[in-house]
Amino acid sequence: MRVKALETMLVLVLAQLVWYYLGQNRYVLIAAIATAGIGVFLPALAEKIHLLWMKLGETLGFISGKIMLTLIFFFFLVPVAWIAGRFRKPVLKLKRNEGSLFKSRNETYTAQHLEDMW
């Protein structure tokens, strides 16, 4: 777990250094140095930061996954299903023309029926 905590702290330090490079804010540089110090000299605190970072990642992954699946469903699958329903004959044949949806097959089964069923 110590190696993973160090990796997490390294990623955080690198992100802060990139942020400093883009914005030239000296407080971000101080935060990067402090984060590096915590990662090296305070392993217990680094472990806690690592656990919080991983929990944040799991939470964001859960939320973004739900949002992306919802968007795909409503903006892709629903229109495709609507268009397919308008321009294609009914596949399920759920409309009752007779009293029952059951179709009677008056056929004698042979060995040929059991070969290559699918």
Q: What is the pLDDT along the chain (118 residues), one digit of tens a residue?
A: 678 888 888 889 999 999 999 988 889 999 999 999 988 898 899 999 999 999 999 999 999 999 999 999 999 999 988 898 888 777 676 666 667 777 777 888 888 878 877 7
37 Rama sector, left if φ>0, alpha if ψ -120 to 50, beta otherwise: alpha
**What is residue 3's predicted lDDT score, i.e. its pLDDT?**
86
Dihedral of alpha carbons 71, 76, 81, 83, sign: positive
Q: Which two tokens stand for residue 64?
A: 């973004």
Q: Please name which of 9, 80, 86, 93 lies closest in space to residue 47, comparing C-alpha atoms.
A: 9
* pTM for this entry: 0.58
CA neighbor of 10 nearest in space, from 18, 22, 62: 18
In angstroms, rounded to a whole number, what is the distance separating the alpha carbons of residues 118 and 103? 20
Helix 43-72 / helix 2-23 crossing angle, nearest 10 deg: 70
